[in-house]
Homo-oligomer: A and B are copies of this chain.
């Protein structure tokens, strides 16, 4: 059967013009070949030292290609060299952090219970547990971070750290960057003696569906929209053998400004908010999309500062024309709702640009069905300021919100000394990260990070950023009654690898090799 090749073009978002054809969409056979190559590469990742070397080699290779990568990414995303240079640094830092995670080995969760013939209620056999890789992981790259949440991003890095080969479904907004990065990473693999198949890349929407349906794919990571992510989540669950689908889909990221905070720091908060919601042309998954600000003088001062800062904020080019159209239409729909005003009107600007802005609405309106659109994420440089009259209105609104990646509160200085704990308790059910007196954009790569939250923020209880992201790609296995000589070194009594572990109930910190 003849197959018609579907070309994959790199497009310049600044002009909307195609730049070059960089690939063709993967056929079912192409997807199958990529997955099989990955599955064949899996045994080579069983050795933790090899994984650690691979992750560091990937970081080094990306660093060596810095100028070329930043130029390629900027040409396709219009995010600018400064931001993309920082994003590359974040990406290589993250790869090296996961190498440290691999070296330390705490993620293996080693637990050893020696046999105890006198144990109650029944004698206990020798049991030793650790975690093993799940198998091939499908990674669905995001549009908005062409490096840190794309081919070389946290999903890929954490899967490789876990010992899982990866096949990435490239995001259509930066196919040339994706190809360049994939070649760089595959070269890095070969440079440390690993097969290039540890990382595969496919293009095309159908290729993504084929990937999540492939019998040899054992888990998936996704960052993107609610409809796209939910469709793939459903497909993953509907397989004959369902697989874990760790998707980050969408988030409103509510912010509460207490009256005390606004009274004390209206100008600082207004300016800070403008910086946060316009960052990266509003294309952050942690963009604050709903801000609860008090009525009255202090709230008015906040709005005045916000108006000034937002008016001065430069516009920008969004990642693609479809997003730009969705942003313009989304703003228009929201602005048309009763009670909504636009002190600084967001929308389309000259050429392919958009201009940032914000909407205001009385908080009481948001608990009405007619206004539920305002509780949905609008991708791009816009935020909604809901003015509340009392804390009752705040609580009523919070009770309606879907799950979020983040929830933020700005507190007054006296509240920060104790009374604000009640607000934190009210926000905790809403999100995976709760911020005090900060802004949610910017997600630190750190062991304590949690980038995830109740649905639709994520489709699982996992994180896609930080050391614990590795947990998504592992499953425990226990060995019962296995003689020492047959045990993997991770589970031997003498702890030859110096791993943190729990032995007969007691925690041992291990050699902490990453320290």
Contacts and interface: CB of A to CB of B under 8 A. Distances in A.
A424 to B, nearest CB: 5
A495 interface: no
A475 B471 CA distance: 13
Interface in A238-267: 238, 241-242, 244
A506 B502 contact: no
Given A90-B122, A435-B480, A450 B507 contact: no
A129 interface: yes
A479 B444 CA distance: 12
Interface string A492-515: 000000001010011111101011
Contacts of A127: 444, 446, 448-449
A463 interface: yes
B448 A90 contact: no
Given A444-B127, A455-B242, A121 B421 contact: no
Contacts of A446: 113, 124, 127
Contacts of A485: 416-418, 421
B450 A478 contact: yes
A483 interface: yes
A434 B505 contact: no
A444 B480 CA distance: 10
B421 A486 contact: yes
Interface in A379-425: 402-403, 416-418, 420-421, 424
A418 B417 CA distance: 61
B486 A418 contact: yes
Contacts of A344: none
B482 A417 contact: no
A432 B515 contact: no
Nearest to A218: B454
A367 interface: no
Nearest to A500: B507
Nearest to A467: B111
A132 interface: yes
A461 B477 contact: no
A438 B481 contact: yes
Contact of A436 (B121, B477, B482, B505): B482
Interface string A451-481: 0101110011101000010000011111111
Contacts of A456: 241
B468 A476 contact: yes
A311 interface: no
A55 to B, nearest CB: 16
A85 B244 CA distance: 38
A433 interface: yes
8 contacts: A89-B120, A127-B446, A241-B456, A432-B478, A435-B481, A436-B481, A436-B482, A505-B515
